[in-house]
Amino acid sequence: MTGAEAANALFVATILIYAAAMFSYAVEYAFDKRAPKRAKALVAVGGASDTDTSADVATEAPISPAAARGAGRLGLVLTFLGTAALAASIVTRVIYTGRWPWGNMFEYTVGVALAGMVTWLWLVSRGSVPRRLGLFATFAVTMVLGTSVRVYTEAGPLVPALDSYWIIIHVTAAIASSGILLIGCVFAILHLLKRSFDRRVSDGKPIRFPLNIAERLPDATALERLTFKIHVFAFPLLTFGIIAGSVWAHLAWGRYWNWDPKEVWAFIAWVVYAAYLHARVSGRSAKANAPWLAILGYAVMLFNLTAVNLVFSGLHSYAGV
Amino acid sequence: MTATLTPAQRKPKAAKRFRAFWRRWWHQLTAMRTALILLLALALAAIPGSTFPQRSISTVDVAGYFDEHPDLAPWLDRLWAFDVYTSPWFSAIYLLLMVSLVGCILPRLNVHWKALRAKVPDAPARMSILPYHRVLDPGADANQGRARAVLKQQRWRTAVREHEDGTVVIAAEKGYLRETGNLLFHTSIIFILVGVALGSLMSWYGNRILSEDKSYCNNLQQYDEYGLGAWVDETALPQFCLTLNAFDAEFTDGGPTAYDADVTYEADGETGEYGLEVNHPLNIDGTNVFLIGHGYTAVVTYTDRYGQTQTLHQEFLSMDAALNSEGAFKFPDVNVDPETGEVDEDAEVGFDAILVPTFDDSTAMLLGTDPELNNPVLALTAYTGDLGLGDGLPESVYSVNEDQIASGELEQVNDDVEVIGVGDSMTLPDGTTLTFDGVEQYAVLQVRHDPGGPVVLAGAVLLLLGLLPGLAVRRRRYWIRWNPDGTVETAGLNRNDFDGLDEECDELTAAIAPGFEPPGTHTDKSGSDE
Ligand code: HEM
Closest Cα in chain B, distance from residue A226 (Å): 9
Confidence at residue A155, expressed as pLDDT on a 0 to 100 scale: 67
CATH fold, domain B129-175+476-512, is: TATA-Binding Protein (3.30.310)
Task: Report whether pLDDT(B529) > 60.
Answer: no
Count CB neighbours of B235 within 10 A. 7
Confidence at residue A184, expressed as pLDDT on a 0 to 100 scale: 97
Closest Cα in chain B, distance from residue A159 (Å): 5
User: For A176-189, what is each residue's pLDDT tens digit?
Assistant: 999 999 999 999 99
Distance CA B382, CA B434 (A): 10
> Which residues, 6 or more positions from B393, have their beta carbon under 8 angstroms from its beta carbon?
none
Look up the ipTM and state it.
Answer: 0.85
Q: Where is average pLDDT lowest: A231-240, B338-347, B398-407?
A: B338-347
Distance CA B288, CA B281 (A): 6
Distance CA B48, CA A303 (A): 15
In which band, very low, low, confident or very high, does the pLDDT at B86 lie, cut at 50, 70 and 90? Answer: confident
Count CB neighbours of A60 within 10 A. 7
Confidence at residue A265, expressed as pLDDT on a 0 to 100 scale: 93
Residue ranges around ligand 1 (CB below 6 Å): A 274, 277-278, 281; B 30, 32, 35, 39, 97, 100-101, 104, 182, 186, 189, 470-471, 496
**CB of B451 closer than 8 Å to CB of B198:** yes
> Which residues, 6 or more positions from B28, have their beta carbon under 8 angstroms from its beta carbon?
B34
Confidence at residue B353, expressed as pLDDT on a 0 to 100 scale: 95
Distance CA A258, CA A250 (A): 9
Atom of ligand 1 nearest to the CA of A270: 5
Q: Where is average pLDDT lowest: A152-166, A283-297, A300-314?
A: A152-166
- Annotate B45-66 with three-state secondary structure: HHCHHHHCCCCCCCHHHHHHHH
Confidence at residue B204, expressed as pLDDT on a 0 to 100 scale: 93
> Mapping DSSP to helix (H, G, I), strand (E, B) and coil, where does residue B215 land?
strand
Query: Domain residue spans in chain A?
Result: 3-46+62-310
Mean pLDDT value of segment B395-405: 84
Long-range Cβ contact pairs of A42-48 (< 8 A, separation 24 or more)? A42/A198, A42/A201, A43/A201, A46/A198, A46/A201, A46/A202, A46/A204, A47/A202, A47/A204, A48/A201, A48/A202, A48/A204
Cα of B79 vs centre of ligand 1, distance in Å, is: 31
Pick from B121, B131, B123, B114: nearest CA to B179: B114
Query: Domain residue spans in chain B?
Result: 16-114, 129-175+476-512, 198-293+446-464, 296-443
Confidence at residue B528, expressed as pLDDT on a 0 to 100 scale: 37
Option in A219, A232, A258 nearest B471 (CB) = A232
Option in B43, B446, B448 nearest A271 (CB) = B43
Task: Report whether pLDDT(A267) > 60.
Answer: yes
Question: What does pTM read for this prediction?
Answer: 0.85
Which residues in chain A have their CB less than 8 angstroms from residue B43's CB?
Answer: 267-268, 271-272, 275, 300
Mean pLDDT value of segment B337-361: 88
Distance CA A24, CA A80 (A): 13
Task: Report whether pLDDT(A36) > 60.
Answer: no
Task: Report whether pLDDT(B22) > 50.
Answer: yes
> Which residues, 6 or more positions from B33, have their beta carbon under 8 angstroms from its beta carbon?
A282, A283, A286
DSSP state of B500: -
Indicate yes or no: CB of A130 within 8 angstroms of CB of B448: no
Ligand 1: residue of A277, A280, A287 to mutate (most ligand atoms within 8 A of CB) is A277
Which residues in chain B have their CB less than 8 angstroms from residue A219's CB?
Answer: 525, 527
Helix axes A261-279, B32-46, angle to 10 degrees: 160
Confidence at residue B522, expressed as pLDDT on a 0 to 100 scale: 43
What is the residue-averaged pLDDT of chain B?
88
User: For A151-165, what is each residue's pLDDT tens digit?
Assistant: 777 766 677 777 788
Pick from B425, B313, B429: nearest CA to B380: B425
A303 lies within 8 A of chain B by CB? no
Helix (H) or strand (E) holding A21: helix A3-31
Confidence at residue A41, expressed as pLDDT on a 0 to 100 scale: 39
Confidence at residue B523, expressed as pLDDT on a 0 to 100 scale: 43
Cα of A249 vs centre of ligand 1, distance in Å, is: 27
Instruction: Give residue B264's region: left, alpha or beta (phi > 0; psi -120 to 50).
Output: beta
User: For B161-202, what is each residue's pLDDT tens digit?
Assistant: 999 998 999 999 999 999 999 999 999 999 998 998 898 889
Pick from A14, A142, A149, A134: nearest CA to A86: A14
User: For B248-299, what is each residue's pLDDT tens digit?
Assistant: 988 877 677 888 999 999 988 889 999 998 889 999 988 999 998 889 999 9
- Stronger pLDDT, A78 or B387, i.e. the higher one: A78
B53 lies within 8 A of chain A by CB? no
Distance CA B530, CA B522 (A): 15
Pick from A235, A202, A244: nearest CA to A301: A235
> Mapping DSSP to helix (H, G, I), strand (E, B) and coil, where does residue B311 land?
strand
Classify residue B177 as exposed, middle or buried by CB count within 10 Å of its CB (0-12, 13-18, 19+): middle
Confidence at residue B424, expressed as pLDDT on a 0 to 100 scale: 95
- Stronger pLDDT, B498 or A279, i.e. the higher one: A279
Confidence at residue A48, expressed as pLDDT on a 0 to 100 scale: 39
Task: Report whether pLDDT(B342) > 90.
Answer: no
Residue closest by Cα to atom 26 of ligand 1: B101
Confidence at residue B6, expressed as pLDDT on a 0 to 100 scale: 56
**CB of B501 closer than 8 Å to CB of B518:** no
Confidence at residue A319, expressed as pLDDT on a 0 to 100 scale: 44
In which band, very low, low, confident or very high, does the pLDDT at A317 lie, cut at 50, 70 and 90? Answer: low
Pick from B194, B155, B190, B200: nearest CA to B56: B200
Closest Cα in chain B, distance from residue A59 (Å): 19
Helix (H) or strand (E) holding A304: helix A284-305
Q: Which alpha helices (H) appear in B166-252, and where do they start and end?
A: 176-202
Task: Report whether pLDDT(B448) > 70.
Answer: yes
Closest Cα in chain B, distance from residue A83 (Å): 21
Ligand 1: residue of B99, B101, B109, B468 to mutate (most ligand atoms within 8 A of CB) is B101
User: For A53-91, what is each residue's pLDDT tens digit?
Assistant: 444 444 456 778 888 888 999 999 999 999 999 999 999
Q: Where is average pLDDT lowest: A27-41, A220-234, B43-57, B121-135?
A: A27-41
Cα of A120 vs centre of ligand 1, distance in Å, is: 28
> Which residues, 6 or more positions from A251, have their beta carbon under 8 angstroms from its beta carbon?
A164, A166, B279, B280, B281, B290
Option in B33, B460, B529 nearest A286 (CB) = B33
Mean pLDDT value of segment B116-122: 93
